[in-house]
Amino acid sequence: MGQRRFANKVVIVTGAGSGIGAAMAERFSHEGACLSLSDIDLNALQRVVKKAKLPARRTLLTAVDAGLAVDVERQVAETIARFGKLDVLLNNVGIATFGFIDDCTEERWRRVQDVTLGSAFFSVKAALPYLRKSKGNVVFTASITGLRGDSGLAVYSSAKAGVANFCRSLAIDHAPDGIRFNAVCPGVTFTPRTQWMADSKVVANEIKARVPMGRMGLPHEMAAAAAFLASDDASYITGVNLPVDGGATAGSGLPFFKRLLPDRKK
């Protein structure tokens, strides 16, 4: 992280209170950015600032319910009031629900869609006038489960699929404005929310068997991909949903025959 690609840049990071969002905050700050961080839990943001030693003069914290347009709009307004501009928007908010569709209430469906997909709409709509001025860019946190289906995740998958295609469409619409739109699509990533997966021997072994690199991703690896897409190093990249998944989506879904039958020659 010796690079300073975001010196004098103003970056919004939503969902910055833990996991991937916290790693993004640390990465972009260390590369010189002024940060506007939001989360529904202000105390979580304060812990991130303390742990990562983020400089107070370059960091703004806002408590935001990302499923509410008025909250998202307030963060953008406070960012402009504090820093005077906006260069990068990292839309990193999402909530999941697990189970089949007949287990999901209408209220839960709407909440997942509002926070996961709605936040992308709210934040881009609020930020767009300022991104036009700066010729800035947006990086969404989508998911590999938004690129392909997964059992028990129909509600979450549909929201993340919306984020992925929202990204593609915006990239086309706003290329003439000089604004780029891309998305990082994490595979299974080790965060406080997925700690239970690492703690479960059955789940951990299944991840090891299914992911070619044999492990969960780490938040800083997702942050590094986002930093690349948001930087001038990616100046000719837009409309991309980049899987950062240890090779999980590289295969067709067939078993790893060589692992199952290591001695088979033909």
Sheet holding 137-141, edge to edge: 59-63, 34-39, 10-13, 88-91, 137-141, 180-186, 241-244
Output the CA torsion sign for 220, 61, 142, 151.
Answer: positive
Phi and psi of 67, rounded to 5°? -85, 0
- In the residue annotation, 156 being an active-site residue is answered as yes
Q: 5 with 81: CB under 8 angstroms?
A: no
Q: Could you give the C-alpha distances from 145 to 52, 82, 168, in angstroms and in order?
A: 30, 36, 16
What is the residue type of 179? Answer: I
Candidate list 6, 140, 156, 166, residue with the active-site label:
156
Q: Could you give the C-alpha distances from 23 to 19, 141, 190, 219, in angstroms and in order?
A: 6, 13, 12, 6
Q: Show Cβ contacts of residue 244 under 8 Å, excluding neighbours closer than 6 positions.
A: 184, 185, 186, 187, 217, 221, 222, 225
CB atoms within 10 A of CB 248: 19
Residues tagged active-site: 156
